[in-house]
Every structure is written in C-alpha cells, then in structure tokens.
Amino acid sequence: MNNNTHSVQMLEFTEKGDERGHLVIVEGHQDIPFDIKRIFYIYGSDADVVRGQHANRRTEFVLINVAGTSQVRVRDGKGNEILYSLNRPHTGVYLPNMVWKDMLNFSEDSVLLVLASEHYDPDEYIRDYDEFVRIVNEGE
C-alpha cells in the first residue's frame, strides 16, 4: 500500500473582494484534484470534540474552515502524523484516500466545509485505527 500522506497538501483558493466583501472560488478539477460529488459541513462542535476518526478506501477530501478555526491531524498508519491548522477561509487541506483523519480544536464559531470525491458509502470507511494500521502495513 502506498503512503498517501505525501499527497496531503495545503491549498490556497482564489479570493476576490472589494468593499462589498469577499468571494472564494473552488472548482473541481481546477482548484482541487477531483470532481465534487458530496458537500457537507460541521459546526457546533466543542473545542474538546474530535471528529472524523476514520480513513476512506476511495474518497478524497478537501477541508476548508469557512468560519472560525480548527485543526486536522493526518496519520499514515506507519507512525507518521502531521497537524494542519485551518484558520483562513481561502485555504484548505487536501486529503487523499487511505489516510487517517481527525478534526479537532474547533473554535466556537467554526464551520468546517468538506468537499468529497465520492457519494457516501459506509462500506468504504475504516473506523478502527488498528484495522487501518494493519491494512496499510499488510497492503490489503
């Protein structure tokens, strides 16, 4: 199994603005590396709540804090982890498939927008970290 954490990266989106306010543009296969098939957002999470806690066999994600702040911890199942801070509404983090993701440290006003490459399929989620580690290291 390839180590997909090398593909995780921060993205910066086009931001336009004038006296009326700001507009951020995110287009599939232009600003992010996939077509957007699903959009959801997370809000109202307390600072001590950890969301995510899973890996996906197929789905890729881009996470953008459109309001407030949060952090995303990404682990590869081989002992490596990276912590990303999402604190500007025109930046996001790209997460390929087969990386473990935890979203945490939400500010009170946090709205975390998630763009996904696939429709929801519960069967492609790996929700047990030990199982994820086994799959990554055995190349299932």
pLDDT tens-digit readout, 67-76: 999 999 999 9
Residue 106 to residue 19: CA distance in whole angstroms: 29
- Hey, which residues are catalytic here? 54
The total domain count for the chain is 1
pTM of the predicted model as reported, rounded to 2 decimal places: 0.92
Are residues 75 and 100 in contact, defined by beta-carbon separation less than 8 angstroms?
yes
Domain that holds residue 126: 4-138
pLDDT digit string, tens, across residues 13-33: 999 988 999 999 999 999 999
The CATH number for 44's domain is 2.60.120.10
Backbone conformation region of residue 26, classed left if phi is above 0, alpha if psi is from -120 to 50, else beta: beta
Are residues 92 and 15 in contact, defined by beta-carbon separation less than 8 angstroms?
no
CB count in 10 Å sphere of residue 7 = 15
